[in-house]
Amino acid sequence: MFEKFRPLADRILVKRLDSEAKTTSGIIIPDTAKDKTYMGVVIATGPGRMIDNKIVPLTVNVNDVVYFGKYAGTEAGEDHLVIREDDVLGIVEQ
Amino acid residing at 93 = E
The pTM (predicted TM-score) of the whole model is 0.79
Could you give the maximum distance between any two Cα atoms of the chain, in Å? Answer: 54
* Domain tally, the chain: 1
Residues 13-54: tens digit of each pLDDT? 999 987 666 666 666 666 555 567 789 999 999 999 988 999
Residue 28 DSSP code? B
Residue 38 lies in a domain: yes
Q: Which domain holds residue 83?
A: 11-17+34-92
The CA-CA-CA angle for residues 93, 29, 87, to 5°, reads 40
Residue 4 lies in a domain: no
- Distance from C-alpha of 76 to C-alpha of 73, rounded to nearest angstrom: 9
Non-local (6+) Cβ contacts of 36 within 8 A are: 16, 19
- Distance from C-alpha of 8 to C-alpha of 84, rounded to nearest angstrom: 10
Residue 22 lies in a domain: no
Residue 73 lies in a domain: yes
Residues 58-68: tens digit of each pLDDT? 999 999 999 99
